[in-house]
Amino acid sequence: MLPFARVTIIGLGLIGSSVARAIRAQMPGVRITGYDSDAGVRDHARSLNFCDDITDTAGTSVIDADLVLLCVPVGAMGAVAAEFAGDLPADAIVSDVGSCKVSVFEALSAALPGVTIIPAHPVAGTEKSGPDAGFATLFKGRWCILTPSENAPEVATERLRSFWQRLGADVETMDARHHDMVLAITSHLPHLIAYTIVGTANDLEEVTQSEVIKYSAGGFRDFTRIAASDPVMWRDVFLSNKDAVLEMLQRFSEDLTALQRAIRYDKGDELEALFTRTRAIRRSIVEQGQDDDAPDFGRKH
């Protein structure tokens, strides 16, 4: 049995359009309604035809939904929820795909009093944005984390779990606060660091931008991929998960200072010990199917 019959997706970018395509592929009986606040995106999404219907207002999009999935930047969740609050069926479940869960749950709870809200976060994506960037297999073999509050109805959580499993994801549930801490280290801090170093390289006077680009295969280019991610989405993530991000950043800075000191005082043994330890973590990630073992991410040579 399908966990939901009528799904509304609000926000038709990389993630929203991937969810729609994945539903089409895995649950063809589901009716998909889409909405995006950008009229140009709505028109383009209509031509891509991954929704059964795309409405011109958020309210119209939810009228007969049994699942409303918000795929907008985390800072925009509350406002869009307020837009459709009056049109939401009483038994609809509202969920999202945002990368911070405490702040999103607070914003949705305030905008949608009495509604069943089960926040979720599929840990998947690429550096591309917009409705063209989505694809049906984005969630396959990736984890989706649900963060139901203590008084969330279990049956709603189970329906959402089944929904994400059908899209190919492995599902885990977790306390929202813990989620935000875990993602601060596995996702938010890596993005922050990548954005920083790409900015640093761009601002140098001794090294030209052309040189940075030409010799980027030495490692730098890996960081530029992450630093090409959607600017508004990431602005919102850092502001919405501020405490956990600042906490992780503080630890990172301490470790970086220790390494700086090891270099300054020629402590080769310390460097080698760390570099050997980090190799083992890569091995575990590959063994557990979270990355490919192909050298250099399988880039063509």
Which residues from 159-178 bind its own copies, rule CB under 8 A? 172, 178
Kindly state the number of chain residues that form the binding site for its own copies, as judged by CB under 8 A.
110
Q: Does 110 bind its own copies (CB under 8 A)?
A: no
3-state DSSP of the chain: CCCCCEEEEECCCHHHHHHHHHHHHHCCCCEEEEECCCHHHHHHHHHHCCCCEECCCHHHHHCCCCEEEECCCHHHHHHHHHHHHHHCCCCCEEEECCCCCHHHHHHHHHHCCCCEECCEEECCCCCCCCHHHCCCCCCCCCEEEECCCCCCCHHHHHHHHHHHHHCCCEEEECCHHHHHHHHHHHHHHHHHHHHHHHHHHHHCCCCCHHHHHHCHHHCHHHHHHHCCCCHHHHHHHHHHCHHHHHHHHHHHHHHHHHHHHHHHCCCHHHHHHHHHHHHHHHHHHHHCCCCCCCHHHHCCC
Beta carbon of residue 83, minimum distance to its own copies (angstroms, whole number): 21
Q: Does 231 bind its own copies (CB under 8 A)?
A: yes
Measured from the CB atom, the residue of 9 and 227 that comes closer to its own copies is: 227
Question: Of these, 79, 110, 155, 213, which contacts its own copies (CB under 8 A)?
Answer: 213
Which residues from 35-64 bind its own copies, rule CB under 8 A? none
Length, in residues, of the chain: 301
Q: Does 218 bind its own copies (CB under 8 A)?
A: yes
Beta carbon of residue 265, minimum distance to its own copies (angstroms, whole number): 10
Beta carbon of residue 288, minimum distance to its own copies (angstroms, whole number): 6
Measured from the CB atom, the residue of 42 and 188 that comes closer to its own copies is: 188
Measured from the CB atom, the residue of 164 and 238 that comes closer to its own copies is: 238
Q: Does 140 bind its own copies (CB under 8 A)?
A: yes
Stretch that binds its own copies, among 28-36, 100-108, 146-154, 195-203 (CB under 8 A): 195-203
Which residues from 243-282 bind its own copies, rule CB under 8 A? 245-246, 248-249, 251-253, 255-256, 259-260, 263-264, 266, 268, 271-272, 274-279, 281-282
Measured from the CB atom, the residue of 86 and 219 that comes closer to its own copies is: 219
Look at residues 143, 249, 260 and name the one whose alpha carbon lies nearest to residue 195: 249
Beta carbon of residue 50, minimum distance to its own copies (angstroms, whole number): 16
Beta carbon of residue 74, minimum distance to its own copies (angstroms, whole number): 12
As a whole number of angstroms, the distance between CA 144 and CA 140 comes to 10
The interface mask with its own copies, positions 119-138, x = CB under 8 A, is ----xxxxxx----x-x-xx
